[in-house]
C-alpha cells in the first residue's frame, strides 16, 4: 500500500489537490445515475437502429414534453424533436419551405433560427442537468464548447445577463453559424440522453446495414456488447473458419444482402457466382429464391441467379460442417450428418429412423460414396472466399472492436446481460457442459468459452489453434452452445424437406424455466448479482406478441427484449422490437412499432411509436454512488483519504 500511495502522490501532488479530488468524487456520487439503453437483435436494420439512438428510445421526446407540454402545441413539439434527431436534413427542409412560402427569406429564417436555438438550449439544459459540468464540457463539440458552456450554465438574472444571452444568439445568427450551432446542440442532446448503451447481441445478418451499425457503434461514447450467435458467426468467419464463412455467405444470399459482403467488406464473391452459374445452369433453384426482395427491382432471371448462388454455397456449407462434426466427436452432433443419409435412387432421406421425401433432385456436386468431400471447383471457391474474409481490412477492424467491447455476458449495475441462454437441465439446475475436457456450468462455463474465442481469433494464424477456430462454428449451431440454445439448426430440412415436423429445432430448458423464480435466482446468484434488485436481460428468441407471448417473465426479474427489429421477424412477432431503458427512477420497457424511413421522419416528423409495457420504479432513486462506477469512485475516495493522511502526518512529502 505504501508503494501504491507514493505512486498516487505523483498524480495528486499535495493536500490541496487531494482534497479537491475527494470533494469532486463525492459530489459525483450524489448525482442521479445516467440513463442506460438496452437494444437486442438489430440484425442489420440500420435505419431503425439509428433512429432509436437519435431519439434516445423516446427519452428526448419525453424531455421535450416535460418542458413544453403546456407551452407549445403538439405539432411544434414534434417539429422540435425532428430537428434534434435529423438536424442537418431538417434545416435544409425548413429553408426549402421558407423559399416556397415567399417573402423576406433572411428575416423569416433568422426568426426560425432564433426560436430554435432558444428551445434547443433549454432542452440541452434538461438532458445535461444530471451530469457534472466537467462531463458536459468534455462532450461539447470543439469550436463551440466555450459558447455552449456559457449558455448552459449562465447564472443569475437581470437585464445584463439577459442582454449577454441575447447577444450570443444574435452573433451566432449574424456570423452565419446558426446551422452548425443547431447541429452541435442537437448532437449534445443526443449524446447526453444516453449515458451508456448495451447491445445484447445479434448486430449481423438479415438486414442490409450491419456495416453502418458497426461504424456507428465504434463512434459511440460508452457501450458494451454481448455477442449473439449471428455475431459469433461473423467473428468465426473473420478467424478463417470455412464453415462459418459459408454460413455468412449463405445468409447474405438468402436475405438478398450480398452488398454487405461485396460493398461493405470488399469480399470477392465472383468465383462463387461463376461456379454457381456453371454448376446449376439448368436448375432454377426455386427453394432458394432470396427473401426481403422488392418485387419491382428484380426480374425473374435475376432472382434465379441469386438462388443458384445460395444453393451452391449451401451444399458447400453442409459438406464443411460434416467434416467438422466427424473431426469432433465431443460435439455429439452426428445426428446432423445428413448428406450420407440421402437415397439418390428415390430422393428420400432417413432422419432418426424416419423416411422423408426430398423436394429437390439436383445434387451434381455430391458424391454418394463420399458425400462430404468437396469437388476441386468447390475447394477453389472456398479458398478464394477465405482469403477475402481474412484480408478484409474493414471486417478485421470491426471484429477487433467486437472483441474489445464485447463479452459473452456482462454484469452491470446488478443486471446480468447475455444474448442466448444459460444452459439449464430439465430439473432446473445449471447444466454442466464439457468444454475442451473440462465440465463447467453457469458463469465458469461462459468465462471458459470466452477464453476459447479469444484464442481462436487472436491466434488465428497458428495451426495449433484449429480446435478453437472450429469451436467458433459450434457456438453458432451446437446444441450445448449458450449462444444457440436449441437442439439443432434445421437448415437442411427447411431447404429440402416439405414436411414441417422436421423443421422444429427445440429449445434449451432455460426457456421453460423463465417464470421460475428459483431458477432465475440461481442464475443471478451464480453470476454475483443482487437477488432483490437484479434482472436477467437477454434476446435471441423473438417474442411473438401477436400470439400472446410476453417479454416480461418471473414478475419482471427476467426480460427477453427481442421483439423483431429485423423485418424478417415482424410478421411472426407483430411488433418491431423492444427498447429497455434504466434511469435513476427505474426500468422502462417499450414495445416499438415499425419504423418507416428516415426521409419520412424528416418530412413528416414521424417517429417510432412506442408503448410502455413495463415501468418498474426503484424503491429509492438511484445515484451514481449506487452504481458499479460509483463503487469504483468510492474506492478511489478511500485511497485518496489514505494519501491525505500520509501528507498530514508527513510520511509523504507534498510537492509544492
369-395: per-residue pLDDT in tens?
Answer: 999 999 999 999 999 999 999 999 999
pLDDT at 157 over 70: no
| Other Cβ atoms within 10 Å of 283 Cβ, number | 19
Highest mean pLDDT among 117-126, 601-610, 613-622: 117-126
Q: What is the pLDDT of residues 357-370, one digit of tens each?
A: 999 999 999 999 99
Per DSSP bridges, beta strands 342-343 and 409-412 are: unpaired
Share the mean pLDDT of the chain.
Answer: 92
Highest mean pLDDT among 143-152, 511-520, 544-553: 511-520
Per DSSP bridges, beta strands 348-351 and 342-343 are: antiparallel
**Contact between 513 and 392 (Cβ < 8 Å):** no
Q: What is the DSSP letter of 42?
A: -
CA distances from 234 to 212, 225, 460, 556 (A): 15, 15, 14, 33
CA distance 456 to 435: 14
Q: What is the pLDDT of residues 206-236, one digit of tens each?
A: 999 999 999 999 999 999 999 999 999 999 9
CA distance 81 to 647: 52
CA distance 387 to 389: 6
CA distance 193 to 461: 42
What's the count of helices (H) and strands (E) in the chain, helices before strands?
A: 26, 17
User: What is the per-residue pLDDT for 283?
Assistant: 92
pLDDT at 325 over 70: yes
User: What is the per-residue pLDDT for 160?
Assistant: 65
Segment (H or E) for 394: helix 393-405
pLDDT at 162 over 90: no
**Contact between 585 and 621 (Cβ < 8 Å):** yes
- Radius of gyration of the chain from its Cα atoms, rounded to whole angstroms: 28
User: What is the per-residue pLDDT for 298?
Assistant: 64
Report residue 294's pLDDT band, with 50, 70 and 90 as the boundaries.
low
| Other Cβ atoms within 10 Å of 98 Cβ, number | 18
User: What is the per-residue pLDDT for 168?
Assistant: 87
pLDDT at 156 over 60: no
Residue 440: strand pairing partners: 433
What angle in degrees, to the nearest 10, is found between the helix axes of 376-390 and 229-238? 100
Least confident of 56-65, 274-283, 351-360: 56-65
Report residue 148's pLDDT band, with 50, 70 and 90 as the boundaries.
confident
Percent of the chain at pLDDT exceeding 70: 98
Higher pLDDT, 147 or 210: 210
Residue 416: strand pairing partners: 411, 536
**Chain position carrying cell 437415397:** 343
User: What is the per-residue pLDDT for 601?
Assistant: 83
**Contact between 90 and 605 (Cβ < 8 Å):** no
pLDDT at 296 over 50: no
Could you tell me the three cell numbers for 416? 446480468
Amino acid at each position: 500500500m505504501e508503494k501504491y500511495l507514493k505512486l498516487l502522490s505523483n498524480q495528486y501532488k499535495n493536500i490541496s489537490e487531494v482534497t479537491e479530488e475527494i470533494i469532486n468524487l463525492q459530489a459525483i456520487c450524489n448525482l442521479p445515475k445516467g440513463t442506460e439503453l438496452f437494444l437486442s437483435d438489430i440484425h442489420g436494420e440500420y435505419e431503425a437502429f439509428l433512429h432509436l439512438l437519435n431519439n434516445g428510445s423516446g427519452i428526448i421526446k419525453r424531455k421535450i414534453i416535460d418542458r413544453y407540454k403546456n407551452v407549445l402545441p403538439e405539432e411544434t413539439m414534434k417539429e422540435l424533436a425532428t430537428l434534434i434527431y435529423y438536424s442537418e436534413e431538417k434545416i435544409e427542409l425548413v429553408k426549402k419551405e421558407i423559399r416556397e412560402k415567399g417573402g423576406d427569406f433572411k428575416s423569416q429564417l433568422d426568426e426560425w433560427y432564433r426560436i430554435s436555438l432558444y428551445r434547443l438550449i433549454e432542452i440541452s439544459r434538461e438532458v445535461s442537468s444530471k451530469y457534472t459540468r466537467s462531463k458536459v464540457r468534455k462532450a461539447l463539440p470543439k469550436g463551440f464548447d466555450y459558447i455552449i458552456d456559457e449558455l448552459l450554465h449562465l447564472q443569475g438574472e437581470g437585464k445584463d445577463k439577459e442582454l449577454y444571452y441575447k447577444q450570443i444568439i444574435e452573433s451566432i445568427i449574424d456570423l452565419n453559424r446558426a446551422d452548425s450551432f443547431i447541429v452541435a446542440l442537437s448532437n449534445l442532446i443526443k449524446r447526453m440522453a444516453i449515458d451508456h448503451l448495451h447491445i445484447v447481441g445479434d448486430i449481423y445478418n438479415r438486414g442490409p446495414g450491419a456495416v453502418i451499425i458497426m461504424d456507428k457503434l465504434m463512434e459511440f461514447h460508452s457501450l458494451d456488447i454481448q455477442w449473439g450467435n449471428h455475431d459469433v458467426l461473423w467473428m468465426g468467419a473473420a478467424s478463417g473458419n470455412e464453415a462459418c464463412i459459408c454460413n455468412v455467405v449463405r445468409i447474405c444470399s438468402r436475405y438478398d444482402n450480398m452488398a454487405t459482403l461485396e460493398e461493405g467488406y470488399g469480399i470477392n464473391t465472383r468465383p462463387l457466382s461463376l461456379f454457381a452459374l456453371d454448376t446449376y445452369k439448368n436448375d432454377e433453384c426455386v427453394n432458394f429464391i432470396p427473401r426481403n426482395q422488392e418485387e419491382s427491382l428484380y426480374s425473374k432471371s435475376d432472382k434465379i441467379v441469386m438462388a443458384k448462388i445460395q444453393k451452391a454455397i449451401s451444399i458447400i456449407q453442409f459438406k464443411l460442417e460434416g467434416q467438422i462434426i466427424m473431426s469432433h466427436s465431443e460435439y455429439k452432433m452426428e445426428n446432423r450428418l445428413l448428406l450420407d443419409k440421402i437415397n439418390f435412387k428415390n430422393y428420400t432421406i432417413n432422419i432418426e429412423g424416419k423416411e422423408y421425401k426430398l423436394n429437390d433432385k439436383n445434387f451434381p456436386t455430391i458424391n454418394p460414396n463420399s458425400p462430404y468431400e468437396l469437388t476441386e471447383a468447390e475447394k477453389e471457391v472456398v479458398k478464394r472466399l477465405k482469403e477475402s474474409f481474412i484480408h478484409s481490412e474493414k471486417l478485421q477492424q470491426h471484429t477487433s472492436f467486437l472483441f474489445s467491447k464485447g463479452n459473452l455476458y456482462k454484469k452491470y449495475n446488478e443486471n446480468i446481460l447475455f444474448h442466448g441462454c444459460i444452459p439449464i437441465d430439465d430439473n432446473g439446475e445449471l447444466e454442466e457442459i464439457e468444454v475442451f475436457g473440462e465440465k463447467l456450468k453457469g458463469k465458469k462455463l461462459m468465462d471458459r468459452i470466452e477464453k476459447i474465442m479469444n484464442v481462436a481469433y487472436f491466434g488465428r494464424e497458428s495451426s495449433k489453434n484449429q480446435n478453437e477456430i472450429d469451436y467458433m462454428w459450434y457456438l453458432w449451431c451446437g446444441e450445448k452452445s449458450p449462444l444457440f440454445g436449441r437442439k439443432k439448426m434445421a437448415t437442411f430440412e427447411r431447404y429440402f424437406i416439405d414436411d414441417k415436423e422436421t423443421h422444429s429445432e427445440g429449445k434449451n430448458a432455460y426457456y421453460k424455466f423463465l417464470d421460475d423464480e428459483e431458477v432465475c435466482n440461481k442464475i443471478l446468484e451464480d453470476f454475483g448479482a443482487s437477488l432483490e434488485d437484479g434482472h436477467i436481460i437477454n434476446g435471441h428468441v423473438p417474442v411473438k406478441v401477436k400470439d400472446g407471448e410476453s417479454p416480461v417473465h418471473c414478475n419482471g426479474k427476467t426480460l427477453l427484449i427481442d421483439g423483431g427489429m429485423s423485418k424478417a421477424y415482424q410478421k411472426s412477432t407483430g411488433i418491431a422490437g423492444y427498447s429497455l431503458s434504466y434511469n435513476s427512477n427505474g426500468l422502462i420497457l417499450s414495445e416499438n412499432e415499425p419504423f418507416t424511413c428516415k426521409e419520412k421522419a424528416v418530412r413528416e416528423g414521424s417517429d417510432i411509436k412506442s408503448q410502455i409495457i413495463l415501468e418498474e420504479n426503484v424503491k429509492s432513486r438511484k445515484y451514481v454512488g449506487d452504481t458499479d462506477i460509483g463503487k469504483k469512485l468510492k474506492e478511489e475516495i478511500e485511497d485518496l483519504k489514505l494519501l491525505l493522511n500520509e501528507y498530514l502526518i508527513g510520511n509523504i512529502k507534498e510537492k509544492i
